[in-house]
Structure 1
Amino acid sequence: MSTPTPQQLIAAQQASLETLFGFANQAFASIEKLVALNLQVGKATLAETQAIVTRAASVKDPSELIALSASLSQPASEKAAAYGRHVHEILSGAQAEFSSAATAQFQKAQKETQGFIESLTKNAPAGSEGAVAAWNSAFSAANATYESATKAAKQFVATVSAGA
């Protein structure tokens, strides 16, 4: 049976670090989008508030003030809904990116594990067929569990997204 060389261990650590930093960069990109959205909404709200206060200050009787107040409720609810949609789009995009990257990493690990098991099978000493079969069985069960969980998670996300 072959053991990993120092170069293989270093390469594995570098790949793990690259994956970690990839996830961190994805998270920061999503946070940047949320911050940009909030800044945009903040600026727009400030400008709109200034316009509303200016209009309210020029009101001559209470009926005009009531009419102004009533005219603002519909646009405010539409803006809140639009803001919610934008946040949902940003978070959904981030979730899709994380899911895609995690799936790719799992498939890579799965392939490497399968290669390890094949190497183990080829280099196993006589009489260890039972242990190798147990490894293969455990690996197959883990893959089946992962596939089932992934399918259930995707269905859940689709259901939640459809309801949003």
Structure 2
Amino acid sequence: MTKMPKEIIDSQKATVDAFMAVQGTLFSGFEKLVDLNLKVIKATMDEVNEKAHEAMDVKDAQEAVAMSSSMVQPSAEKAMAYSKHVYDIVSGVQAELSKVVEGKIAENQKQVSETIDQMTRNAPSGSESAVAMLKSSMAQANAAYESMTKAAKQAADVTEKNLHAATAATMKAASDAATGAAKTAARATTTRRNDA
């Protein structure tokens, strides 16, 4: 029976470790999403119970309009908060996966570089130009990877900033709508009282 070289065994162990890290990250993200959804369901059930009791105490149409308009802003805020929590969980999982992938790529680049160096030492005379071309190609590939990584991170930053801006605009619109509905309900109540 032949023995496997230590490098191959170490490489296989590293691959298994990377796979387990990816699985752990995905499971952790899934676990966080389940936990978030359970909390949202419980809070929603409690709120529905509370609002049902409040609805039973409504005496006229103005109170019903005021109650329904008072629920618009909190509902929008809760939906935006939920979306932000989901986004944060997904972003965290993506960041962890990126770390694993970047680590694996860096490890592979190091191994390729070491292999090229070893080939250079063992290369026959007259192959200097081929070795130089190989090293140049490797350097260009590394530079291209770094450029793509920087561009991807910049795109992610821009996306996150746009998401925060959209969230703020949506929250302001929901707040304005709730305020407008409350003012309309108040005016309707005042008009009805004045007419009576």
**What TM-score do you get using the length of structure 2 for normalisation?**
0.76
Q: Give the residue type in structure 1 aligned to 2:119.
A: L
Deviation, 1:126, is: 3.0
Amino acid in the other structure paired with 2:87:
H
| Structure 1, gaps ≥5 residues long | none
**Residue 60 of structure 1 aligns to a residue in which SS?**
coil
Q: Secondary structure at the match of 2:124?
A: coil
Q: What is the CA deviation profile of residues 93-120 of structure 1, one whole-angstrom value per residue up to 9, with x for unaligned ones?
A: 2222222222222212111111111001
The AA in structure 1 aligned to 2:144 is T
Deviates more, 1:96-105 or 1:36-45: 96-105
Partner in structure 2 of residue 95 of structure 1: 94
Measured against aligned partners, the alpha-carbon deviations of 1:38-76 in whole angstroms (never above 9, x if no partner) come to 110111011101111122123232222222111111111
Instruction: Measure, in 2, the Cα distance between the counterparts of 1:10 and 1:90.
Output: 34
User: How far 1:125 moved relative to its partner?
Assistant: 2.4
Please state if 1:17 is matched with 2:28: no
Residue of structure 2 equivalent to 1:52: 51
The runs of at least 4 consecutive aligned structure 1 residues that moved more than 6 Å come to none
TM (normalized to structure 1)?
A: 0.89
Equivalent position of 1:70 in the other structure: 69
Aligned to 1:28: 27
Residue aligned with 1:126, SS: coil
Name the count of aligned residue pairs.
Answer: 160
> What is the alpha-carbon distance in structure 2 between the residues aligned to residue 40 and residue 83 of structure 1?
10
SS at match of 2:125: coil
CA RMSD of superposed structures (Å): 1.5
Q: Distance in 1 between matches of 2:41 and 2:122?
A: 65
Partner Cα distance (1:87, 1:73) in 2: 21
Aligned residue runs from structure 1 range 1-164, under 5 A: 5-164=4-163
Q: Distance in 2 between matches of 1:49 and 1:84?
A: 20
What is the deviation of 1:148?
A: 0.8
Higher RCO (C-alpha under 8 Å, 6+ residues apart) = 2
* Distance of 1:70 and 1:159 partners within structure 2: 34
- Residue 71 of structure 2 aligns to a residue in which SS? helix
Q: Structure 2 unaligned segments of length 5 or more: list them.
A: 164-196
Decide which moves more: 125-134 or 16-25: 125-134
Identical aligned pairs, as a percentage? Answer: 42
